[in-house]
Amino acid sequence: MFDFEKLEVYSKAKQFNATVSSFLEHVKVSKNKKDQLERAAFSIMLNIAEGSGRFTKPDKRNFYIIARGSVFECVAIFDYLTDQKAIDETTFKEFYSKLEEISKMLYGDF
């Protein structure tokens, strides 16, 4: 087992990524916005994994900061989708809550 597989934040990011993938099959937005959200959600997971494999604390921290930036990017995309009436406020709040939890976990890993 790799170190990142033991991290709760990785499990949360993996679950979030799966939820986003499923969500994107049903939402009606442009291909480029779907692609951007999919890449940002996947980036959270990948940067957590990559960071866990680094040997120095500053190196690990850098990847967790990048992952957290992708969390913020996802929040902004969901905010945009809400403004565009592509999703309702309830859906926004559900995704927001998951992203907030991941963000707090990543901040705690510093």
Q: What is the pLDDT of residues 7-48, one digit of tens each?
A: 999 999 999 999 999 999 999 999 999 999 999 999 999 999
pLDDT at 110: 47
Amino acid at 3: D
User: What's the CA gap between 62 and 7, in Å, rounded?
Assistant: 17
Task: Give percent above pLDDT 90 in the chain.
Answer: 96
Q: At 15, phi and psi to the nearest 5?
A: -60, -40
Residue 64 reports pLDDT greater than 50: yes
Token pair for residue 27?
Answer: 């939402």
Average pLDDT over the chain reads 96
Amino acid at 22: S
Residue 72 neighbours by CB under 8 Å, 6+ apart = 103
pTM, rounded to two decimals:
0.94
CATH superfamily of 13-108: 23S rRNA-intervening sequence (1.20.1440.60)
